Amino acid sequence: MPVLRIALTVNGVPVIRTVEPRTSLADFLRYDLELTGTHVGCEHGVCGACTVR
């Protein structure tokens, strides 16, 4: 399966990881970075609960 290298800043900390292309940002934050306060509301992308800025 192909993977992507991503680089982002989370809570002021630079993060570089390799992820599968189908990984959502919410799943990455919850499961890869163990930031369990991240929640997905409607799972359709319309309610705004999973918006990340």
d(CA 1, CA 15): 22
Give the model confidence (pLDDT) of 9-51 as tens digits: 999 999 999 999 888 888 899 999 999 988 777 777 677 666 6
What is the per-residue pLDDT for 51? Answer: 63
Q: Does domain 1-43 have CATH number 1.20.1250.20?
A: no
What is the per-residue pLDDT for 52? Answer: 61
To 5 degrees, how large is the angle CA 28–CA 33–CA 34? 105
d(CA 40, CA 53): 15
From the list 23, 40, 26, the residue with the least C-alpha distance to 10 is: 26
What are the backbone dihedrals phi and psi of residue 32, each rounded to the nearest 5 degrees, phi first?
-80, -40
What is the per-residue pLDDT for 26? Answer: 86
Q: Note the pTM of the prediction, 2 decimals.
A: 0.75
Q: The dihedral of CA 43, 48, 50, 53: what is its sign? A: positive
